[in-house]
A = this chain, B = another copy of it.
Amino acid sequence: MQSRLVYMDHGATTPVRKEVVDSMLPFFHDQYGNPSSLHAPGRKVRQALDEARETTARALGADPEEIYFTSGGTESNNIALRGAAKKQKGGGHIITSSIEHHAVLDVCRDLENEGFKVTYLPVDHYGCIEPEMVKEAINKDTFIISIMAANNEIGTLQPISEIALLAREHGILFHTDAVQVVGQLPVDLHSSNIDFLSLSAHKFNGPKGIGALFMRKGVEINSLYRGGSQERKLRPGTENVPGIIGLGRALELAVSDIPHKKKRLESLRDSLIAGLLQIDDVVLNGHPRQRLPGNINVSFKYIEGESVLLGLDMEGIAASSGSACSSGSLEPSHVLSATGLDHSIAHGSVRFSLGWGNCKEDVDFVLQKAPLIVERLRNISPTYHSR
């Protein structure tokens, strides 16, 4: 690995904080009991699990019984959407957006194969969803609306409260994929109309492979997996104890850091954006203000995103791209396409996502290297020369 690493891919995953690892360690070879066991080693672990559930609930303004631990954001989304669909038996109508993560979008596509109807709402140039359009899309068969709290690529924040209220007024369930938001911005579920919220620990300096689904008290869905009676049968299987402990601790730390961290990241974000826009022919993707504190997404015209990533990588800068070549999917990001961005510009997109540990020097380093990389690549590019 590079001697100096400037990690700006916190939207993909984050390092686990030292305090979090420390909280997990006792649960590997010391307190290893199965929380379902009646004996002392089991009971002790059950208690630690209950405490982690309380910590998690508290950090979200929820009740412990409303927290279901899962293996991550993907599973939380699948359980909420498919679980609600399974309860419908037969069919019904789902409203979602065209810029959801694949763990919502592709679930909806799969449900279409099973006979459900789905409306994929368009977004504006900034990636924003208009609540009025949600309202218009509602019909008598609509049973769930799923709109992400913030987009993972372009960072755009959605008017979740308004949409959740709309859903509530129409007696429709509301799910939000808040994987990018939890730990970054305050969440208070009890004062909201959200019925389901998905989160994933590795996005807020917790461990990979553990997440949670908030499901409001009184809401009922059908579980997908069957097995033991863990997580009140919504998600059976021996609990990932160290993961759950780590999630609770990481969330507690992340949420208490928000007031301070949010400001710091926003300021770093804005100077990185400003610096990148100094380069010729660079456009900002997403909304200039309503965006995640740590999200920067720009398109470098005339060059391709993966090659920029590679150039950055050579300098020890870790970022990501919505280009086709970086996803292996041949298609440029569905998110950038949905914002109406020209394919050729979408291919040149690069996301820098800031987090815990990034500092002004990191931003300066990127701003020193990026122009050189861009220049070098443009120099090779035929489209640049014939522009």
Contact = CB atoms under 8 A, between A and B. Distances in A.
A385 B34 CA distance: 36
Contact of A78 (B2, B12, B225, B309): B225
Given A2-B40, A106-B226, A209-B241, A21 B29 contact: yes
Max chain B Cβ within 10 angstroms of own Cβ: one of A21, A78, A237, A320: A237
Interface string A189-230: 000000000001010000111100000000000001111110
Given A13-B34, A74-B228, A75-B225, A202 B238 contact: yes
User: Nearest 9 CB-CB pairs, A to B?
Assistant: A209-B240, A74-B237, A103-B227, A106-B226, A74-B227, A39-B318, A71-B71, A16-B28, A13-B34
A176 interface: no
A340 interface: no
A310 B38 contact: yes
A1 B30 CA distance: 11
Contact of A21 (B17, B25, B77): B25
Nearest to A326: B38
Contacts of A41: 1, 5, 7, 9, 318
Contacts of A14: 32
Given A236-B102, A237-B73, A15 B32 contact: yes
Count of chain copies: 2
B44 A1 contact: yes
A317 to B, nearest CB: 8
Interface string A136-152: 00000000000000000
Nearest to A320: B37
A236 B107 CA distance: 11
A239 interface: yes
A87 to B, nearest CB: 12
Nearest to A73: B237
9 contacts: A1-B40, A2-B40, A13-B33, A21-B28, A40-B318, A72-B240, A78-B226, A102-B227, A210-B240
Interface string A270-295: 00000000000000000000000000
Interface string A84-116: 000000000000000001110011011000000
Interface residues of A, number: 76
Interface of A: 1-2, 5, 7, 9, 12-18, 20-21, 25, 28-30, 32-34, 36-42, 44, 71-75, 77-78, 101-103, 106-107, 109-110, 200, 202, 207-210, 224-229, 236-243, 306, 309-310, 312-313, 316-321, 326, 328
Contact of A319 (B7, B39, B306): B39
Given A39-B309, A71-B209, 16 more contacts: A1-B41, A1-B44, A9-B42, A15-B29, A16-B32, A38-B309, A38-B320, A40-B316, A41-B318, A72-B240, A74-B225, A102-B236, A207-B240, A208-B243, A209-B210, A209-B238
